[in-house]
Amino acid sequence: MSKFAAEVDSRRTFAIISHPDAGKTTITEKLLLFGNAIQVAGTVKGKKGTRMATSDWMAMEQQRGISITTSVMQFPYNGRTVNLLDTPGHEDFSEDTYRVLTAVDSALMVIDGAKGVEDRTIKLMEVCRLRDTPIFTFVNKMDREVRDQIEVMDEIEDILKIQCAPITWPIGMGKAFKGIYNLYTDTIHVFEPGKGLTIPDDVRVEGLESDEAKTLLGDLYDDFVEEIELVRGASHEFDLDAYQQGLMTPVFFGTALSNFGVREMLNDFVEWAPKPLSRNTETREVDPHEEGLSGFIFKIQANMDPKHRDRIAFMRICSGRYTRGMKMKHVRIGKDVKIADAVTFLAGDRSNVEEAVSGDIIGLHNHGTIQIGDTFTEGEDLKFSGIPHFAPELFRRVRLADPLKMKQLQKGLQQLCEEGATQLFMPTKNNDLIVGAVGVLQFDVVAQRLKDEYKVECIYEPVNVFTARWIDCDDDRKLEEFKRKAGDNLSVDGGGHLTYLASTRVNLAMMEERWPDISFRSTREH
Ligand code: G4P
């Protein structure tokens, strides 16, 4: 194998999916600890505390206790290079999360052992299923009084429709939690409470039959041996192919807070999780081992760091190698651009990337020319497919508190909407600015950021819009006629696309019937 192929194959690019509060932030922090990206836990997580979060960028996230932005964390582990893409947990940011999941090769599902499968997990799994994303499962909070774990496993199988193959199994729970037992290596990993801030020692007992195991488990021993028999009988044996096809999930138990069980999961994760996969474009499949660089933008983030007032476009590299200073073709606008200063984000630090290969994520400085869904190559005209924009469901007109700041408002809205969480619509008949969002919290985020980053105060007003549809038509004459007749409801979105803003469901249905040659699309491929 060439050096390049080996480098590509060492990549493990994934995201964590979970219901809020299941422990995603806590486990992220522990993964960074194992990857030596941080030295002491607590430097990442700062929700209620004073320490600044590494993966939480903005003060707002801390105030609200949710993760709004997506960041990318790279760290080496056991000879692999792990790329962890953080996903916003709040449901108002589902579209953002959706696009992050198009940029990964696998996902880690974190489940609260006391709560089992929750709403948000169900939705995220639906998204993963669209691409048969392989899923690792970590059942968290074993240091608490949790539910019967066989029941939780059944719930995962029934509700999420994926076979479970437990790799480790918890010994006791809550105050009586003693550790985990690896069903495949016949090893007990012994739990020592209160070691969550650093990497704990790996205390092992080999063999469930051993005297040491009997001493360790004490009164629990007989019941546990019986439980393991039951678990082996009632669950599936791990099958790597079935996992990689998204049909089966290996299940691990532990407590992220005490940093226990995470290492065992991570060790198997870097072995089993898929290396960078091929990706589809509109014309052909792109193999990650191809030498020519290609990649797509799945996320744009403005002003991540107030000290650097710029926007970053996150690109998933799908083939080839990025080297500093290289030329790339920005396919949509047909221009070559020289990229001297791509960045990665490691624990809040920005460092210039010298090199990156398929599977890696790099951040490109965006001065307004890059949009979500854009493809970059070393010359070939490719366009990666499958990165949709969804029609927003909520709309507000934006008015200025100080009318003299119109320019700043327009610029701010345009830039914030480029990030993809909200969308901007500018009616063709008047000067209104209408913001569309999938969830109501996004309006607050936009207002707050306009204030903080663009120094404009805005006021929202209700607007009579039920939904937006992107307009497409092959027949230019028909399109012109439509534009004349439907002008009052037409607008241009932030990407310059014509959209129809329907006032009611009935209005939309009527227009669709009246204009059979016009397509009213509820999603727009970037
Ligand atoms: P999220 O990102 O998925 O929303 O969850 P997060 O990691 O923030 O964890 C949610 C809460 O659950 C936190 O408590 C966290 O400390 C706790 N937690 C995470 N893992 C474990 C675990 O293994 N055992 C126990 N007992 N608790 C766990 P919090 O009170 O909301 O926040 P904080 O006061 O700890 O910051």
> How is residue 257 annotated by DSSP?
T
Q: How far is the CA of 103 from the centre of ligand 1 (A)?
A: 27
Q: How far is the CA of 80 from the centre of ligand 1 (A)?
A: 28
Task: Provide the ipTM.
Answer: 0.97
The residue length of the chain stands at 526
> How is residue 263 annotated by DSSP?
H
Ligand 1 pocket residue status of 23, Cβ below 6 Å: yes
Among 432, 360, 418, which Cα is nearest to 389's? 418
Ligand 1 pocket residue status of 386, Cβ below 6 Å: no
The verdict on pTM exceeding 0.90 is no
Candidates 19, 26, 71: which one to mutate for ligand 1, based on the most atoms within 8 Å of Cβ?
26
Is 386 marked within a binding site? no
pLDDT, residue 41, reads 61
pLDDT greater than 50 at residue 61: no
pLDDT greater than 90 at residue 107: yes
Ligand 1 pocket residue status of 293, Cβ below 6 Å: no
Cα angle value 266/161/280 (rounded, 5°): 70
Ligand 1 pocket residue status of 140, Cβ below 6 Å: yes
Q: Cα separation of 469 and 502, whole Å?
A: 8
What is the tens place of the pLDDT at every residue in 245-272?
A: 999 999 999 999 999 999 999 999 999 9
Task: Write down the mean pLDDT value for the chain.
Answer: 87
Ligand 1 pocket residue status of 56, Cβ below 6 Å: no
Ligand 1 pocket residue status of 111, Cβ below 6 Å: no
Ligand 1 pocket residue status of 120, Cβ below 6 Å: no
pLDDT greater than 80 at residue 418: no
Query: Where are the extended beta strands (E) located within 202-353?
Result: 204-206, 248-253, 279-280, 285-286, 294-302, 311-319, 321-323, 326-330, 335-339, 343-346, 349-352
pLDDT, residue 119, reads 87
Q: Of all atoms in ligand 1, which is nearest to the CA of residue 260?
A: 23
Question: Which helix or strand (DSSP H or E) is residue 109 part of?
Answer: strand 106-112
Query: Where are the extended beta strands (E) located within 391-474?
Result: 394-400, 422-427, 434-437, 458-462, 467-472
Q: Cα separation of 353 and 350, whole Å?
A: 9
Is 25 marked within a binding site? yes
